[in-house]
Amino acid sequence: MSDSKNVLTLDSLRQVLNEALGDNRFINIPADQSLLWNGSISSIEFVMVIASLEKRFGISLRNMDTSPANFTLSHILNQMQGNETLEITPVPPAVSRSGLTAAIRYPSHVFAVAVIIFIFLNIVVAASMQSFLARAYSAFLEEGQRLYPYAGNFSQDDFAFAVKHHRISDDSLEKRPTALLMGDSGTMGFFLPASQSIAACIENNLAGTRIQNLAWCGNLIPKDLMLLEAAWDHQFDLVIFTVGRNYFSRLRVAKSTAALRHCSVSWPLFEQFSKRIPQNQRGPFDRYLRSLKSADLWHFGPLRRLSFALFPIMHYQPYFRYLFTMKWLPDYFISDMRWSAQYELQERALEKSPSGIQDSGVLTQDLDQDQLQILEQTILLLAQRNVKTLLYIEPFAPASWPHIVSGSALSMASIMDGVAQRTGAKVVDLSWSLEAADFTDSAQHYTASACLRLGAMLASSIQPLLMPQ
């Protein structure tokens, strides 16, 4: 080499490599140990080392023996000393470090960049959903016929946001006799398009009416009251509450309250609704509100509400998951969304009759009196607004299954008849109106033909309430 060229030694090679990877790991590594086999560098860092050496010395190492066993410091030194074009050019350490390594050393920079990207993404999402994606998003929501399409994996958890995008919030629609259909996943129409849900079938049977499908998965009357509160300022003449054994079982209510984060995160709506009840009658509401708040903390509710308030993408993420997993990916990719919308409906889980006799009643010691009082106070509140109430006892199981109400239990019909006598509500009992082939994956969900029959039966009970002669 000429005098103008620096001599490359083992120490100077270590220094160059330390600068390349941004630390001092090469100081004590023996010269004859494989850098790959002893874990000194990863496969990604191997590429970075070669690239850094080529850039630093302006040479090509394509023909260098880079087998793992031979990739030692002494081997690198010998290979490079045989290159007559070698020249060490001083480079500031900040330039020689890889971007990834430097970022790892300064995690605050990574976090700041991530926050900036996330904020920018949210601005783009908010602007897009209000402009060129608005029509597509409305189609995804079935033009507001339901609070969300098909199944729970298509929903976001903000009740107020969902009601805002429901057609009930479109005050430009023609005024018609209107009923709110509250309920669970079966009432909502899981695995079916909105046009085949119970609400749509009722509306088809009652020309000139509007049946607003405000059902959301979960067997909880308080959940229905949160949605009722979100829709309170809009016009309606009748409220139909779906009821069943799980709605008034103390054990089931406690489990659902603890598990369903879309209910607990919306507790402010329940609190707001409870303030419509006279203060001396709020005891059941207050006790249940405490349970909701406790469950909400378990599900990190405060952070989730803050994210809903600050980041539009939290509301729209089901739509983007739908685009990616159902529109962009090929049909053979079976996502949970695709399964719910295209395949779940084919299941028939109840075609095999159970060996025992089904007890369809609620044990007296398990009957949740607070839930009954919450329902009754709500019916009386609605009556003050001149809104009528219909209690729809949903199908329990196939009619062909052997069933009884044991001596220690109360039937749903008798429980709801008591509510009706105390409040003036009407009751329609469809507990045993379906057969095994009418259910899909469970007793909670129905086929399109079952919804058609349920809709016709409910329409006959709704007509005198919504369209009196």
Residue 85 per-residue DSSP state: T
CA atoms within 13 A on the CB side of 156: 25
**pLDDT of amino acid 453:** 97
**pLDDT of amino acid 222:** 98
Q: What is the spatial distance between Cα 348 and Cα 169, in angstroms, rounded to a whole number?
A: 36
Domain ranges within the chain, ordered by starting residue: 10-102, 157-300+345-466
Q: Is the dihedral of CA 385, 423, 288, 226 positive or negative?
A: negative
Q: What is the spatial distance between Cα 242 and Cα 162, in angstroms, rounded to a whole number?
A: 20
**Would you state the structure tokens that stand for residue 234, as one six-digit string?**
């809009």
Q: What is the spatial distance between Cα 201 and Cα 451, in angstroms, rounded to a whole number?
A: 7
Instruction: Tell the residue number behind the tokens 């709801």, with chain if given.
Output: 416
Q: What is the spatial distance between Cα 195 and Cα 192, in angstroms, rounded to a whole number?
A: 8
Q: Strand locations in 161-249, DSSP E?
A: 178-182, 210-213, 238-243
Q: What is the spatial distance between Cα 84 and Cα 63, in angstroms, rounded to a whole number?
A: 15
Is 428 strand, coil or helix?
A: strand
Instruction: Tell the residue number behind the tokens 């069943």, with chain if given.
Output: 244
Largest CA distance in the chain: 110
Nearest to 398 by CA among 327, 449, 450: 450
Using 70 as the pLDDT threshold, list the residues of the chain that sit under it: 1-7, 43-44, 61-63, 66, 82-107, 109, 469
CA–centroid distance for 332 within its chain: 23
**pLDDT of amino acid 357:** 80
**pLDDT of amino acid 420:** 98
Strand order in the sheet with 388-393: 210-213, 178-182, 238-243, 388-393, 426-429
**Would you state the structure tokens that stand for residue 355, as one six-digit string?**
């060996």
Q: What is the spatial distance between Cα 427 and Cα 420, in angstroms, rounded to a whole number?
A: 7
Which CATH number among 3.90.230.10, 3.40.50.2000, 3.10.310.30, 3.40.50.1110 corresponds to the domain 157-300+345-466?
3.40.50.1110
Phi, psi at 182, each rounded to 5°: -95, 155
Which residues contact residue 30 at a Cβ distance below 8 angstroms, ignoring those fewer than 6 apart? 73
Strand partners, 240: 181, 390
**pLDDT of amino acid 3:** 42
Buried b (16+ CB within 10 A) or exposed e, 266-276: bbbbbbebbeb
**pLDDT of amino acid 201:** 98
Q: What is the spatial distance between Cα 234 and Cα 414, in angstroms, rounded to a whole number?
A: 33
**pLDDT of amino acid 114:** 81
Taking each helix axis from N to C end, the angle separating 301-310 and 313-322, rounded to the nearest 10 degrees, works out to 80
**pLDDT of amino acid 43:** 63
CA atoms within 13 A on the CB side of 26: 25
Residue 367 per-residue DSSP state: B
**Would you state the structure tokens that stand for residue 204, as one six-digit string?**
């088809």
Contact 433, 456 (CB under 8 A): no
Domain 10-102 carries which CATH code? Answer: 1.10.1200
